[in-house]
Amino acid sequence: MNNDVVLTGILLMSIITFASRALPFYFIEFFKEHKAIQFIGKVLPLPIMIILVFYSIGDISFIQYPYGLPEMISIMSIIIIHTLKRNLLLSIFVGVISYSILFCLMS
Amino acid sequence: MQANLMFKTFKSALYETIPVIFGYIPLGMAFGLSFVKAGGTYYSAILMSIFVFAGAAQFVAIAVFVSQDSLSALAMTTLFINLRHIFYGISFVGKFPSDKFFKKFYMIYGLTDEAYSILTTTRHPKDDQFYFWVILISHIYWVLGTIIGTVAVRYIPYEMPFLQFSLTALFVVLAIEQAYTVKSIYPFIIAVFASLLGLLLFKSNMLLVSITISSVIIAYLYKRGYAL
C-alpha cells in the first residue's frame, strides 16, 4: 500500500464524504427542485448496500462445495434477527458466530 | 449555555451513545486491524477515522488501496457508498446552530448512520448542544476503536475469516435499514441481478460495474415513469 496514495485518498474521501453529508444543508433549494436527485438518493442506496454485501463476500463459488452456503445461511440469519430485534451489534454478532460455525463445519 | 446545563447535556449524550460503544469499538478495531494487515501505516488508519468518519467507505477503501486502483475509482466508490448520507441531513436542516460556523460544520461532518439513528429516535429534548455531544462522543469511540485495532495487530498473528465476515454482516444490516425506507421490491431485484452478473464477469472487481448496471436500470425506470 503506497502511503502517499493513501494520504491523498484520505483527503479525497474526506471531502466527498463531507460533501454528501452537507448537500442538503447548503443546497436545499436545488435539492428540492430536482426530482431526479431525490429519486436517485432515495432509490440507489439500497442496491448499493446489497452490491456491497456481495462485494465483501468476494470470490465464492456457488457450484463448488461448500456452494457458498456458510455465507448465504449466515446472511439469512442476520436478516431474520435484525428484522426481529433491530439491534446492530446483535445482528452482526449472530452473523459472525453463524458464519464461524458453518465455516468450520463445512471446510 | 451555563456550565451546569452543559454538563447535564453531556451526561445525557454519554448515556444515549452507549449503543455506539458496542458498534463502533469492535468495528473500529476491525478497520484498524484490517488496514494495518493490508499493509497500511497505523497513523494513516487513524487519520482516516478522524477525517473521513465513514465505516463502510473506509473498509472498501482498504480493498481499493490494495488493488491499486486509481484515485478516481476510489472517489467514485466513496461517492456511491456515501450517497445515502444525503438524506440524513434533511431531517436536521435548520436544527443545527447557524451562528457557530465551526460547530455546525463539525456536526454536519459527523452525521453518520449511527449518529442519525440516535438523533432521530432519542427522547431527549432536541437541542443542538445535545446533538453536538452525541456526534463528538461517537467520533471519539470510532477513532478509539481504530487505535485499539492498529495496536492489536501485534497480538493477532493469524488471519481471521470471521473478521472479514463482520464487514459483510455490517453491510447486510445497513441494507436492511435502507430497505425500510424503500417500499418497493425493484431495487432489491435489480441489485441482486447486477451483483451476480458483476461477480460472474469481474469477480472481485465487480463493485463499480454492478453499481453502474444498477444505476442505468434505475435511471431507465425513472425515465419510464416508475414511481417506486
Give the orientation angle of helix B113-121 with respect to helix B18-37, to 10 degrees: 180
In tens, the pLDDT along B5-38 reads 888 889 988 988 887 887 788 889 889 998 998 8
Q: Answer whether A16's CB lies under 8 Å from B45's CB.
A: no
Radius of gyration for the alpha carbons in chain B, expressed in angstroms and rounded: 19
Tens place of pLDDT per residue across chain B (228 aa): 678 888 888 998 898 888 788 778 888 988 999 899 888 899 999 999 999 999 889 999 998 998 888 889 899 989 988 887 877 777 777 777 777 888 888 988 998 888 887 887 777 777 888 889 999 999 999 999 999 999 988 887 655 666 678 778 888 888 888 888 777 788 888 899 998 888 888 877 788 788 888 888 888 888 887 765
Q: Locate cell 479525497: which residue?
A: A12
Residue B3 C-alpha, separation from nearest chain A C-alpha, in angstroms: 29
C-alpha span between A1 and A7 (Å, rounded): 11
pTM confidence score: 0.80
Q: A20 to chain B: which residues are within 8 Å by CB?
A: 79, 82-83, 85-86
Name the DSSP letter for residue B39.
T
Q: Answer whether B136's CB lies under 8 Å from B110's CB.
A: yes
C-alpha span between B115 and B53 (Å, rounded): 11
ipTM value, please give it: 0.83
- For residue A62, give the 3-state DSSP assignment: coil
Tell whether B158 lies on the interface with A, counting CB pairs under 8 A: no
Query: What nine digits make up the cell of A6?
Result: 493513501
Contact B214 A54 (CB under 8 A): no
Contact B175 A28 (CB under 8 A): no
Contact A42 B109 (CB under 8 A): no
Nearest neighbour of A49 by CB, restricted to B79, B165, B178? B178
Residue type, B137: I
Q: Locate cell 468518519: which residue?
A: B53
Contact A9 B167 (CB under 8 A): no
Nearest neighbour of A49 by CB, restricted to B19, B78, B171? B171
Contact A74 B82 (CB under 8 A): no
Buried-exposed string A15-34: b where 16+ CB fall within 10 A, e elsewhere: ebbbebbbbbbebeeebeee
Tell whether B101 lies on the interface with A, counting CB pairs under 8 A: no
